[in-house]
A and B are shown apart, each in its own frame.
Chain A
Amino acid sequence: MPIQTSKETTALIVTITGKMDALTAPEYEKKFSELIAEGEISFIVDFEQVDYISSAGLRVLLATAKRVKAVNGKLLLANITGVVKDVFEISGFCTLFPTHDSVASALSASLG
């Protein structure tokens, strides 16, 4: 599973690469659960390298957002563009999640 994390003061940046589909979604969900169990509560998910997302990927984000909310954390999304952005817009997920044009902008928002 192509996933990388880097720790910033206010959030953990999670960089995902490739597809968030029915095949990879369970692994992503497991990874987010593990990170929350380790005490992480604020995430910025960087979508710059994501070229495909389906409802299975969206459901992982939704489930993670619920868990994060339960511990008073934040889930921010950055760099959602192209066909992936279309899926977010069609599904209404753009209004469900705070999205940012860059990781830097998401980091600034995570301060608030």
Chain B
Amino acid sequence: MIKIDHLSKSFGNLEVLKDITVEIKAGEVISIIGPSGTGKSTFLRCINLLDRPSGGSIRIDGVDILDPKADVPKVRQKMNMVFQSFNLFSHLSVMDNLTLGPIKLLGMSKEDAGSKAVDLLKLVGLAEKAESYPDELSGGQKQRVAIARCMAMDPKIILFDEPTSALDPTMVSEVLSVIRRLAKAGMTMAIVTHEMDFARDVSNRVLYMDDGIIYEEGTPEQIFVHPQKEKTKTFINRVRSFTYHIASPDYDLYAMNAEIETFCDKQILAVKQRYNLLLIVEEMLQIYNPFLSKALLDINLAYSEKKESLEVVFESTGEAMNVLDKNLLSDELGLTLIQSVTESIDYQRLNNKNRVTLILKKQ
């Protein structure tokens, strides 16, 4: 139904989509997941030509919509979009929001468009709101009207761009249940979402996007239960991480500690865990100190909500060397403290770098 080949999109020097190739078949429900800022929304906007792709091709039922001769308004009728911020016409009633497109663009009679609108409002559970104005509706109701408005144009596919992100948590489920109902009815949909349980439950296929590409794709089972690639695993395990770069012995320990404390606040870590994390970083830095004038050091903190584990990785340039080798230490005080608060300490030489991975003891 939609065949996308080597799609790319840049804004100035910023390459948001690098090389996207994917096919969406009729009746499929595709969830697009991934970290913020990885091009998910831009991808949807390119399919709908709200953003003009920089390269590649998009074919809908064999027609190249990037051909200058393509009838863009006609293309958009085939695939409607539901936005994060609803985008209803605030000066029109719910009924007029739903009938405007069908009357103006599809040439339907007012009666037919009205009757269809009533059916669609029933489908989304808002028949009694036909004469209300958007400002009189809750966020969840507005989004349900927006979905009904999409359906009014008989689209072949609906593109959802984070449909629940702007909603109060209490209203998320009402919108998701409407989308579930459409999925059951066989509607073709591509949904950018951060609602992982929903994505897992409703989709036939999941695209994990990262850094402007489809990094991994598969069934919900493949992506959520058995992800194969590192970044997907990290994302699915809800790992939140923070990296600090040290390029000289005169690094700002105050600033770094403040950032670590902010990281701890965000993860809501217990006092003891926070203390141990600061202790590990400080002791490791003391041990690294003699080498910092000639090596670059990256410290990565990663907290996995799912495993409730806190991992600290120290990666340094320079010749192969385990800084925690007892023969290299002037005394073992720092190492003793590190060992006492860690569950495991692992050294590896990877990609010409020394990597020490420490996993903190659970509290």
Contacts and interface: CB of A to CB of B under 8 A. Distances in A.
A60 to B, nearest CB: 12
B336 interface: yes
Contact of B340 (A23, A59, A90): A90
Nearest to B278: A52
Nearest to B333: A55
A88 to B, nearest CB: 11
A23 to B, nearest CB: 5
A96 to B, nearest CB: 11
Q: Is the interface of A mostly helix, strand, loop or mixed?
A: helix
Contact of A91 (B272, B285, B333): B333
A28 to B, nearest CB: 15
7 contacts: A22-B286, A54-B283, A55-B286, A55-B333, A56-B286, A90-B336, A91-B337
B282 interface: yes
Given A83-B271, A83-B275, A21 B282 contact: yes
Interface in B156-209: none
Interface of A: 21-23, 52, 54-56, 58-59, 83, 87, 90-92
Contact of B333 (A23, A52, A59): A59
Which among A23, A90, A92 has the greatest number of chain B C-beta atoms within 10 A? A90
Contacts of B336: 90-92
Contacts of A56: 282, 286
Interface in B263-288: 271-272, 275, 278-279, 282-283, 285-286
A87 B338 CA distance: 10
A9 B279 CA distance: 37
Contact of B253 (A23, A58, A87): A23
B11 interface: no
A104 B272 CA distance: 29
Which among A54, A59, A91 has the greatest number of chain B C-beta atoms within 10 A? A54
The 6 closest A-B pairs by CB, nearest first: A90-B340, A55-B333, A55-B334, A83-B275, A54-B282, A23-B253
A87 B282 CA distance: 14
Interface string B221-265: 000000000000000000000000000000001100000000000
A22 B253 contact: yes
B150 to A, nearest CB: 56
B51 to A, nearest CB: 48
A91 B254 CA distance: 25
A58 B275 CA distance: 16
A20 to B, nearest CB: 11
A91 B336 CA distance: 7
Contacts of B278: 52
Contacts of B334: 55
A9 B324 CA distance: 46
Contacts of B271: 83
Given A55-B283, A56-B286, A90 B253 contact: no
Nearest to B340: A90
A58 B177 CA distance: 59
B340 A22 contact: no
Interface in B316-363: 333-334, 336-337, 340
